[in-house]
């Protein structure tokens, strides 16, 4: 599998309904994340884009059942390993950034403490060395006054600053090969969103990360992604390079999604 | 405060020197809205854009008196809404209505669609039961729903359908102007297009004026005639949408427009960057609110808050620096 870091292969799954029936939600989902590339997984609410991402990270909801398929990371099937093995991959190999960073961070610990804890867990060493690394990571994501910020709690951070801290934790304190970002800028103001996306691109390039960006914002995709996976209603509709998806989409759904994003009349 | 006549034709809604100050602990003052002037002409759409904390939603809420303004005047077709005794407000709501961002939170979960739409008719119009029932049926069809939806409760509707109900409720009493507070920002892009299409269609059919509050610049460009850009409680630039988007003058407008990505292949943006994040609105100094973030700041920017300066063609900007140094 040279050139491919992760491959989702015929991944299908269902949710248990309240009446104890299995309701299928993912249908033979297949896509590849090329090593070193930035791949966007786009789709609207209910497309299943986040559910696949959560599955890669091994944190799919308890009511979800995988009914077929594999998720190959390097040569390991992530669906076939136990929680202990998965935990050894999280952070070290695969990291994830969530939509609402202030909700994803623990409200009762300072931001610096949380980064330092993750550092110690991943790399060992003493507390003060870990805190120094945490402050350094905050500095690298352009958080002003990182020493003071490290002593603050998540609620004292703005949404944009909290997302920077989250990215510092996921991409710098951890040293993953694969970074998954689930709607990292949704809910942020447009100027802040642009700053955060620039930071993500810069860090990904610097560290040679393979990045998977889950988003509904095709503007961001057009600007920064190399590859695109279009999902709708639990299925992969189309995959291709960003240029191909934007300039020569083959599927009706892709064309409709593009038209809606550009506020054009649907060219179906 | 310099007065800039921003509207074309007669203003149906006029806002003058609107202020909203929230007291905060320690006797300090949070200045959410700091002297806003707006005019909306009959049948036109004025977009009010800005980021979180700019005060755009507070302006909307002050206009309809959901929160009490601290000062200023609001008139609708010459009749004052601000100031006006609260008990006389009911008559005003026949003229001005509002659609909220989150149709989930703005519809009563215990009322079905029929009850939601009947309520404003009962409150504001002297109609018989049969007339109201007829009007309710007419309304659901106007917003693209069917009479079958009348018996449904909000939780039985999709997000887009709920927003259609919110729109039907707003137009029920045939207002002159509807304030739309981020009406599509909680919707998927395909639904967003449908709701915008509906709003444009209703505007044409009913001659409605809209005050369209949004942070989505693409949507604003699509639906609005004129735009007013807010930053920290004040309007920093206003003008026809085509002019402001083609030739933004205020450094904040430039930063905002240049930050929005375009969903097309091969579009290159040159960003205008501001330093840091939005400043605090608590006890702001008497200076341009962008001082400290602005790449063009001069010493004079700290000597008093600039007023809007008329650039002609209904375009105005609150920045003497860019006016003195034309591009």
Q: Give the pLDDT of residue B117.
A: 97
Q: CA A23, CA A65: separation in Å to the nearest integer?
A: 10
Looking at CATH, the fold of the domain delimited by A4-261 is given as Rossmann fold (3.40.50)
Number of H helices, E strands in chain B: 10, 12
Exposed/middle/buried for residue B64 (C-beta within 10 Å: 0-12, 13-18, 19+): buried
Q: Rounded to a whole number, what is the distance in angstroms from the first to the last CA of chain A?
A: 36
Q: CA B272, CA B252: separation in Å to the nearest integer?
A: 9
- Residue A239 half-sphere exposure, CB side, CA atoms within 13 Å? 14
Average of per-residue pLDDT values in chain A: 94
Q: Give the pLDDT of residue B153.
A: 96
Taking an 8 Å cut-off on Cβ atoms, the answer to whether A219 and B255 are in contact is: no
Taking an 8 Å cut-off on Cβ atoms, the answer to whether A160 and B277 are in contact is: yes
Hey, is B82 helix, strand or coil?
strand
Q: Give the pLDDT of residue B81.
A: 85
Is residue B172 a contact partner of residue B164, using CB atoms and an 8 Å limit?
no
Q: Does residue B270 belong to the interface with chain A, where contact is any CB pair within 8 Å?
A: no
Secondary structure element (H or E) that encloses residue B320, with its range: helix B320-324
Above 60 in pLDDT, residue B327? no
Q: Per-residue confidence at B269, pLDDT binned at 50, 70, 90? A: confident
Q: CA B113, CA B126: separation in Å to the nearest integer?
A: 20
Percent of chain B with pLDDT over 90: 73
Per 3-state DSSP, chain A is made up of helix, strand and coil in percentages (nearest 5) of 40, 25, 30
Percent of chain B with pLDDT over 70: 97
Taking an 8 Å cut-off on Cβ atoms, the answer to whether A190 and B217 are in contact is: yes
Q: Give the pLDDT of residue B82.
A: 82
Q: Give the pLDDT of residue B7.
A: 43
Which residues of A lie inside 8 Å of B (Cβ-Cβ)? 44-45, 144, 158, 160-161, 189-194, 197, 216-223, 242-243, 246-247, 256-263, 266
Q: Give the pLDDT of residue B4.
A: 45
- Average pLDDT of A5-31? 95
Q: Give the pLDDT of residue B198.
A: 97
Domain ranges of chain A: 4-261
What does the block give as tokens for B130? 């049969």
β strands within A106-260, DSSP E? 178-182, 210-215, 227-232, 235-241
Q: Per-residue confidence at A268, pLDDT binned at 50, 70, 90? A: very low
Give A229's strand partners: A41, A239
**Which of B190, B255, B261 is the closest to A222 by Cβ?**
B261
Whether the upstream peptide bond of residue A109 has omega within 30° of 0, thus cis, is no
Q: CA A65, CA A16: separation in Å to the nearest integer?
A: 8
Q: Per-residue confidence at A181, pLDDT binned at 50, 70, 90? A: very high
Q: Which of B35, B33, B50, B6 is nearest to B255 (CA)?
A: B50
Which residues of chain B does A190 touch, with a Cβ-Cβ cutoff of 8 Å? 51, 215, 217, 256, 259-260
Is residue B318 a contact partner of residue B290, using CB atoms and an 8 Å limit?
no
Above 80 in pLDDT, residue A131? yes
Q: CA B303, CA B289: separation in Å to the nearest integer?
A: 11
pLDDT single digits (tens) A218-265: 999 999 999 999 999 999 999 999 999 999 999 999 999 999 998 875
For B255, the closest chain A residue by CA position comes to A191
What does the block give as tokens for B272? 């205008």
Residue A81 is classified by DSSP as: S
Q: Which of A162, A118, A125, A124 is nearest to A143 (CA)?
A: A162
- Average pLDDT of B190-216? 95
What does the block give as tokens for B126? 């002297």
Count interface pairs A-B at CB distance under 8 A: 79
Q: Per-residue confidence at B325, pLDDT binned at 50, 70, 90? A: confident
pLDDT single digits (tens) A63-101: 999 999 999 999 999 999 999 999 999 999 999 999 889
- φ, ψ of residue B311 in degrees (nearest 5): -105, 5
Q: CA B261, CA A189: separation in Å to the nearest integer?
A: 12
Q: Does residue B229 belong to the interface with chain A, where contact is any CB pair within 8 Å?
A: no
β strands within A35-143, DSSP E? 38-42, 64-73, 76-77, 94-97
Which residues of chain A does B250 touch, with a Cβ-Cβ cutoff of 8 Å? none
Which of A237-246, B91-100, B271-280, B308-317 shows the lowest mean pLDDT across its residues?
A: B271-280
**Which of A222, A257, A258 is the closest to B267 by Cβ?**
A222
Residue B264 is classified by DSSP as: S
Per 3-state DSSP, chain B is made up of helix, strand and coil in percentages (nearest 5) of 35, 25, 40
pLDDT single digits (tens) A142-176: 999 999 999 999 999 999 999 999 999 999 999 99
For B185, the closest chain A residue by CA position comes to A187
Q: Give the pLDDT of residue B9.
A: 54
Q: CA B304, CA B302: separation in Å to the nearest integer?
A: 6
Q: CA A60, CA B174: separation in Å to the nearest integer?
A: 48
Percent of chain A with pLDDT over 90: 90
Q: Does residue B269 belong to the interface with chain A, where contact is any CB pair within 8 Å?
A: yes
**Which of B189, B217, B277 is the closest to A261 by Cβ?**
B189
Exposure string of B292-303, with b = 16+ CB inside 10 Å and e = fewer, is: ebbeebeeebee
- Average pLDDT of B278-296? 90
Q: Give the pLDDT of residue A18.
A: 86
- Average pLDDT of A183-191? 90
Residue A21 is classified by DSSP as: -
Residues contacting residue A92 through CB under 8 Å, at least 6 positions apart: A122, A174, A175, A176
Which residues of chain B does A223 touch, with a Cβ-Cβ cutoff of 8 Å? 261-262, 267, 269
pLDDT single digits (tens) B138-169: 999 999 999 999 999 999 999 999 999 999 99
**Which of B256, B265, B269 is the closest to A246 by Cβ?**
B265
Average of per-residue pLDDT values in chain B: 91
Which residues of chain B does A259 touch, with a Cβ-Cβ cutoff of 8 Å? 193
Q: Give the pLDDT of residue A266.
A: 43
pLDDT single digits (tens) B17-47: 999 999 998 899 999 999 999 999 999 999 9
Above 50 in pLDDT, residue B8? no
Above 90 in pLDDT, residue A110? yes
Above 50 in pLDDT, residue B274? yes
Taking an 8 Å cut-off on Cβ atoms, the answer to whether B264 and A246 are in contact is: yes
Q: Give the pLDDT of residue B152.
A: 96
Q: Nearest CA to CA, how far is B145 from chain A (Å)?
A: 21
């Amino acid at each position: 599998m040279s050139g491919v870091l992760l491959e989702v292969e015929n991944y299908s799954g269902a949710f248990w309904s309240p009446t104890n029936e299995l309701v299928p939600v993912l249908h033979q989902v297949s896509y590849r994340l090329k090593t070193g590339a930035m791949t966007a997984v786009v789709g609207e609410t209910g497309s299943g884009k986040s559910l696949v991402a959560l599955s890669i990270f091994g944190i799919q909801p308890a009511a979800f059942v995988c009914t077929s398929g594999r998720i190959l990371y390097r040569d390991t099937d992530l669906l076939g390993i136990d929680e202990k093995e998965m935990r050894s991959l999280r952070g070290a190999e695969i990291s994830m950034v969530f939509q609402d960073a202030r909700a994803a961070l623990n409200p009762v610990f300072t931001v610096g403490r949380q980064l330092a804890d993750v550092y110690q867990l991943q790399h060992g060493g003493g507390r003060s060395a870990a805190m120094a690394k945490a402050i350094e990571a905050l500095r690298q994501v352009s958080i002003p006054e990182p020493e003071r910020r490290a002593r603050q709690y998540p609620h004292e951070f703005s949404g944009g600053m909290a997302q920077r801290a989250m990215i510092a934790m996921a991409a710098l304190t951890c040293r993953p090969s694969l970074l998954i970002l689930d709607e990292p800028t949704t809910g942020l103001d447009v100027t802040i969103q642009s700053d955060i996306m620039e930071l993500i691109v810069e860090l990904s390039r610097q560290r040679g990360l393979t990045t998977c960006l889950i988003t509904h914002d095709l503007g961001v995709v057009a600007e920064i992604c190399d590859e695109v996976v279009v999902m709708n209603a639990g299925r992969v509709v189309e995959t291709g390079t960003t240029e191909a998806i934007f300039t020569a989409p083959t599927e009706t759904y892709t064309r409709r999604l593009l038209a809606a994003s550009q506020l054009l009349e649907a060219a179906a | 405060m310099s007065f800039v006549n921003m509207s074309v034709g007669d203003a149906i809604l006029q806002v003058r020197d609107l202020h909203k100050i929230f007291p905060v602990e320690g006797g300090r003052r949070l200045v959410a809205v700091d002297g806003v002037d707006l005019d909306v002409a009959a049948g036109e759409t004025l977009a009010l854009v800005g980021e979180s904390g700019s005060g755009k939603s507070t302006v909307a809420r002050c206009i309809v008196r959901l929160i009490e303004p601290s000062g200023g005047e609001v008139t609708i077709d010459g009749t004052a809404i601000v100031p006006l005794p609260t008990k006389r407000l009911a008559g005003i709501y026949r003229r001005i209505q509002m659609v909220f961002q989150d149709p989930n939170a703005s519809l009563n979960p215990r009322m079905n669609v029929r009850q939601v739409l009947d309520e404003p008719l009962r409150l504001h119009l002297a109609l018989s039961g049969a007339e109201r029932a007829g009007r309710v049926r007419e309304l659901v069809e106007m917003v693209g729903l069917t009479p079958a939806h009348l018996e449904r409760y909000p939780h039985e509707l999709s997000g887009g359908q709920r927003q259609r109900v919110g729109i039907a409720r707003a137009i029920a009493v045939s207002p002159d102007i509807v304030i739309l507070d981020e009406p599509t920002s909680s919707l998927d892009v395909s639904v967003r297009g449908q709701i915008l299409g509906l709003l444009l269609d209703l505007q044409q059919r009913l001659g409605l004026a809209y005050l369209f509050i949004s942070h989505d610049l693409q949507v604003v460009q699509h639906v609005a005639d004129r735009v007013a850009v807010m930053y920290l409680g004040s309007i920093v630039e206003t003008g026809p949408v085509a002019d402001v988007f083609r030739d933004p003058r205020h450094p904040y407008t430039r930063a905002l427009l240049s930050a929005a990505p375009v969903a097309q292949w091969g579009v290159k943006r040159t960003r205008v960057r501001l330093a840091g994040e939005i400043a605090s609105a608590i006890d702001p100094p008497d200076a341009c609110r962008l001082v400290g973030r602005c790449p063009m700041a001069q010493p004079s920017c700290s000597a008093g808050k600039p007023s809007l300066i008329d650039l002609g063609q209904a375009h105005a900007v609150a920045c003497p620096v860019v006016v003195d140094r034309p591009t």
